Amino acid sequence: MVNEGDTLPVVTWNMYRRERGVNGPIGYEAAGDNRPPQTWQEFKSDELFNDRCIIIGIPGAWTVNCTHQMQMFDGQFDQLYTKCIENVYFLSVNDSFCMQSWIWAHYAIKVDWVADGNGEFTEKIGMLVDKSDCGYGKRSWRYAMVVEDNKVEKLFVEDGMADNVGVTVDPYKESHYNNIYSYLRTTGRKQDPPDDSRWYWDVPSAEKVTRPEDDIGFKERLKLTARERVEHNQENADFINFDPSRDSIAHKEKEEQDKKDKEMEGGMLGT
């Protein structure tokens, strides 16, 4: 396992994401707004972790504790910045689509993310564990590191690190925001609060798509859809109006048998 004072291994991540430093719409027609679309880009770990930053390893995006932790750091990032923290990276053995959607869905704009989808970095620092009992496969143990010049300044690792510890075991104490901020206060380093113009992500807008050339327009499509629904209902009336308690074969057979039974009973009473 990596220790304080160690230099972190250098890996290259290929992540699908928007260009850093660009806000606004994304998607196929984003160029019309002078905004490039998302693209596959290579990121080297030693370049990302050059400035003093915090790396937070999490078991998985969208999980309860990870989401709470991410929102804590995003909402209180400014205090970390005043202690000379330039970035906070949430790193998980998830793909980049999952990580991006998780951050954007929670309107987080100050923290960043790293998709260590192959688990290469996580394994090299000794934080890769088997969470197959949760249906996760290989994932990261929860930890946090204060890093500068790609070297570990301070390490926070949750207790009980092991494989397949159970679905209810997800320690979240050592890497809590309060614990890390308390450490940063002891270092004595400080700087002015951040300028809002530095944020490289904003709350995302919907992706833009090109209207098909044969598109008939919204109103006409509504009319067409309504007509198609009426025709469908007429053609499939027997199925749509089918009532199992009235129209099933078993019900028809029972009705026929009841009719025969009544006729038989009537004949017996007549004799």
Q: Between β-strands 12-17 and 138-140, what pairing exists: parallel, antiparallel or unpaired?
A: unpaired
CA distance 244 to 248: 5
Helix/strand/coil for 17: strand
Catalytic residue among 66, 84, 98, 134: 66
CA distance 117 to 13: 8
Residue 98 annotated as catalytic:
no
Q: Cite the DSSP H helix spans in 94-194.
A: 96-105, 120-124, 177-187
Token pair 């598109």 is at which residue?
215
**Residue ranges with strand state E in the chain:** 12-17, 39-44, 53-58, 87-92, 112-115, 128-130, 138-140, 143-148, 151-157
Residues marked active site are found at: 66
